A and B are shown apart, each in its own frame.
Chain A
Amino acid sequence: MTTTPESTSPQTPPNGVSVSGDSGVASSTLLSLRGITKSFGAVQALKHVDLDIPAGQVTALIGDNGAGKSTLIKAIAGIYAPTSGEIFWEGRKVNLHTPRDAENLGIATVYQDLALCDNLDIVQNMYLGHEESRHLTLDEIKMELNTKRVLSELSVSTVQSVRQLVGSLSGGQRQAIAVARAVMHESKLVIMDEPTAALGVSQTAQVLDLIKRLASRGIAVLVISHNLVDVFEVADRIAVMYLGTLVSSGPASNYDTSSAVEIITTGGSRADATASFK
């Protein structure tokens, strides 16, 4: 249970924060978890997890199957209320009981299955559940213009037409649309569950680029991944989970592939990862 000490005091909004990259010290903590525990009956899926997620940086959450990564993001996304522990958002203590609570704070989650409707086009998917309307009817022009704007801001340029059905898109494009939808509604934290798991080489590169662009826009990104190559490619910070415990966390530069693998598989030594692997 070794986390790097970081400030949890009230902070400036993430948009005003400069990207600190691998400096090791997060300039602005957006979300702080303190002592998060989650039990399912007798099973403790999360044991006293402390984690800070800074704005404008990509935090990678890694660990073996069953380490508790999914449970942790579901606690942040408001799907599972933690059994005990506290969550601070921009320094304020918050309760996340429903996905709506998380969404209202500005937490968007992109699940592995993306939750897109293949029979709807890109614009319709981007606005699903948040449609713009005018005179009681849908304002298609406004939605289409905004969709184009958001996609171009994120440099998602491979789709031919935003009126294309999502079912016709490639895996990388679908991922991009799901991410674009997540950030469109003023999200400050985007959680992504295995964003590159189903993708080929070039599409993975596109998605990783997209993740970096999100961070450079001041958005905090929390990525779950099994793929350490991708993690080291994109992450500013790394947090390792082992059997429900957060065993190590710190700037990505403090880790290399072999040290990360060792912590994932053995839980690491009791010593601070930062100290032992620098």
Chain B
Amino acid sequence: MTNTSETAVAPRVSAGALRGQLKRLRQGDKGLLPILLGLIVLVIYFEIRNSVFLSSGNLTNLFVQATIFILLAMAEIWLLLLGEIDLSVGFVSALGATTAVILLDNQFHWPWFAALPLAILVTTVIGTMQGFIIIRLRLPSFIVTLAGLLGWEGVLIFFVDRQGTGGTIPVQEKVLYGLVNSNLSPMWTWIFVLACLAVLIYLIVRRDQSRRASGLDAVPQFVTIAKAVALLVAGIVLVMIFNKNRGTFTVLEGMPYAIPVDIAMLAAGSFILTRTRAGRYIYAIGGNAEAARRAGVNVNRYRLLAFVFTGFTAGVAGLIYASRLGGISDNVDSNLVLLAVASAVIGGTSLFGGRGKMIHAVIGGLVIATIYNGMALINMSAATQYIATALVLLVAVAMDAVARRGSTPSR
């Protein structure tokens, strides 16, 4: 440490940046590599056991299955970053969905552009309310949202049963139903994916260029190009999966609308976390709230903001949930929230606060959906599915804890 002299000050392309990345790896920002490798192993295993797994029909189904885990995990990540947790997120999102379904289909017949935003508003208000109680009364989020878990399920059952439709309300309105069950046309799938890739690659190239132009450590040019090419290939493969006709009797092709919803939430969440003060402060509070406070950050304001974001994201998740089930019932899976937390942690977000990214929700959600989807394909029992998920989660949490220990300051 003492003999590196001027390395920090002199602009040094590549070597410094690479060393920094290695260092980060050891510190616990383990990156996406291990979990992506794990995902590939799972995929290969299921494909060997049943060749239907990698068919475009099943993969599309898998992506749609993953959507709900992904969105709920994103909701959870806002709070996990603060070292908080929301146990009520599953029922809150279902309650939002109930709002939408009732307003759209029963006696109200609201238009979708009024009902869907209102549903999201409901969950946002609930999230804000819980956050307010937690912050103002200085209660642990674990307990307040545990009360939410019980209470909001009660409210949900009350409203669903009051409709007198036997405990389930079907979705008949076509926009909400179509979120999961309708697709972009193949051409629009191409346009959408290529546009996303163009923006993403532009941002990456521009960032690396301006770092180089300012004389700061930057990855070598070929790494930038490799990243862009990899993204392009992945995007094209994705389009080809979605655009293959997967129908048996009718033509069924294109990307389900749920995927752009995921991508929009991922983009918005990542933008806030990495490019704005709010995001920076959420990380800071999760790392050392006292330090943030002394630096002049209004800690409670940004904590509350995270609860607002959680509520909002839960609302979006709820709409996807109702669309996928084709309705809402008074019997919402209470494992949803646990799988949401599991997705976030499997993806690489720390339970202890301060470490995590929105993309972790996507990776973790895909892992969980892959396990569920693949196990069903090879006819494994529910028992095995649960146990397999548990093992993956355990490995992820263990890695998180070990990484955390590795990152404690060496003095």
Return chain A residues, CB-CB under 8 Å to B20: 160-161, 163-164
Question: How far does the alpha carbon of A113 sit from the alpha carbon of B284 in the complex, in Å?
Answer: 16
- B288 → chain A closest CB, angstroms: 5
0/1 interface trace, chain B 6-17, chain A, CB 8 Å (1 if under): 111100000011
Return chain A residues, CB-CB under 8 Å to B216: 141, 144-145, 148
Return chain B residues, CB-CB under 8 Å to A24: none
- B21 → chain A closest CB, angstroms: 9
- Is B357 in contact with chain A by the CB < 8 A criterion? no
Could you tell me if B276 and A137 are in contact, using CB atoms closer than 8 angstroms? yes
Q: Which of B7, B9, B27, B286 has the most CB of A within 10 A?
A: B9
- A119 → chain B closest CB, angstroms: 4
Q: Give the tally of cross-chain contacts (CB within 8 A).
A: 138
Could you tell me if A115 and B407 are in contact, using CB atoms closer than 8 angstroms? no
Could you tell me if A160 and B8 are in contact, using CB atoms closer than 8 angstroms? yes
- Is B410 in contact with chain A by the CB < 8 A criterion? yes
- Is A116 in contact with chain B by the CB < 8 A criterion? yes
**Other-chain contact of A168, B291, B297, B354, B407 (Cβ < 8 Å):** B407
Given known contacts A124-B280, A128-B284, A145-B216, A157 and B409 CB-to-CB distance under 8 angstroms: no
- Is B1 in contact with chain A by the CB < 8 A criterion? yes
Question: How far does the alpha carbon of A34 sit from the alpha carbon of B314 in the complex, in Å?
Answer: 58
Could you tell me if A198 and B411 are in contact, using CB atoms closer than 8 angstroms? yes
**Other-chain contact of B295, A129, A133, A157, A160 (Cβ < 8 Å):** A129
Q: Which residue of A lies closest to B8 (CB)?
A: A159
**Other-chain contact of A117, B24, B217, B292 (Cβ < 8 Å):** B292
**Other-chain contact of A119, B7, B16, B354 (Cβ < 8 Å):** B354
**Other-chain contact of B292, A129, A151, A161 (Cβ < 8 Å):** A129
Main secondary structure of the interface of B (DSSP, over half): helix
Return chain B residues, CB-CB under 8 Å to A167: 27, 407-409
Return chain A residues, CB-CB under 8 Å to B283: 117, 119-120, 124
Return chain B residues, CB-CB under 8 Å to A116: 288, 291
Could you tell me if B9 and A151 are in contact, using CB atoms closer than 8 angstroms? yes
- B120 → chain A closest CB, angstroms: 23
Could you tell me if B276 and A138 are in contact, using CB atoms closer than 8 angstroms? yes
Could you tell me if A118 and B214 are in contact, using CB atoms closer than 8 angstroms? no
Could you tell me if A131 and B280 are in contact, using CB atoms closer than 8 angstroms? yes
Could you tell me if B288 and A117 are in contact, using CB atoms closer than 8 angstroms? yes
- A178 → chain B closest CB, angstroms: 10
Return chain B residues, CB-CB under 8 Å to A173: 1
0/1 interface trace, chain B 296-327, chain A, CB 8 Å (1 if under): 11000000000000000000000000000000
Question: How far does the alpha carbon of A167 sit from the alpha carbon of B26 in the complex, in Å?
Answer: 11
Contacts A118-B354, A119-B407, A198-B411 aside, 16 further interface pairs with beta carbons under 8 A come to A100-B296, A114-B291, A115-B291, A117-B354, A118-B407, A119-B288, A120-B283, A144-B216, A148-B9, A160-B8, A161-B19, A165-B24, A165-B27, A168-B23, A168-B407, A170-B409
Interface residues of A (CB under 8 A from B): 99-100, 103, 111, 113-120, 124, 128-131, 133, 136-138, 141, 144-145, 148, 151-152, 156-171, 173-174, 198-199, 202
